[in-house]
A and B are shown apart, each in its own frame.
Chain A
Amino acid sequence: DVKVTQSSRYLVKRTGEKVFLECVQDMDHENMFWYRQDPGLGLRLIYFSYDVKMKEKGDIPEGYSVSREKKERFSLILESASTNQTSMYLCASSLGTLTGGYTFGSGTRLTVV
């Protein structure tokens, strides 16, 4: 019954590595989002996409990029991982009208050492 799948639950990467976080949804949703969740800061929007090959910056895009080559898949890329990118990363998807709100993935806890 899982509808938004994130490829990894836990990741440990070294400073300077290029990191790929993958998200796949099977609900034919137009919109997809990447957030990071940190204690006391809530969920902060990194990037989002409202169509294939379309992307928009969120509130904290620095140090990240994204790719959406297919409707069901939205990838978050850390070009050169840094320790301040240690966080929980949540992917979400929604219909264009936001009917039913977001469906979230289970999250990827990334630790950069």
Chain B
Amino acid sequence: GENVEQHPSTLSVQEGDSAVIKCTYSDSASNYFPWYKQELGKRPQLIIDIRSNVGEKKDQRIAVTLNKTAKHFSLHITETQPEDSAVYFCAASTGYNKLIFGAGTRLAVHP
């Protein structure tokens, strides 16, 4: 079945720096790649997603890139702010629209 690996597990940056989180997937048939943000004690929330027919997508300070050949995709956050501190999960879809998630990255943005 599908396997999604996510790195790093923890990431610490200074406010205003950029943050990059990387994921690789195993099933070449996967065609949908969302990213979720989970703040402490809250439910995961979708922040951006990309489909396999697109190489890059941006939404203000957040961007996602996809390399289908290498089977990896990345989340880029620019001009980080303390409110970006959270756990971020990548995921990939495979069959019946189910999502397989990575293990998560705990991002800390220090003022």
A contact set with B: CB distance below 8 Å:
31, 33, 35, 40-45, 48, 50, 56, 58-59, 90, 94, 96-98, 100-102, 104-107
Contacts and interface: CB of A to CB of B under 8 A. Distances in A.
B8 to A, nearest CB: 13
A25 B18 CA distance: 36
B98 A90 contact: no
A112 to B, nearest CB: 21
Contact of B100 (A31, A45, A94, A98): A45
Given A101-B34, A101-B49, A48 B98 contact: yes
B59 to A, nearest CB: 13
Nearest to A48: B98
A59 B43 CA distance: 21
Contact of A43 (B45, B46, B49, B89): B89
Contact of A42 (B34, B43, B46, B101): B101
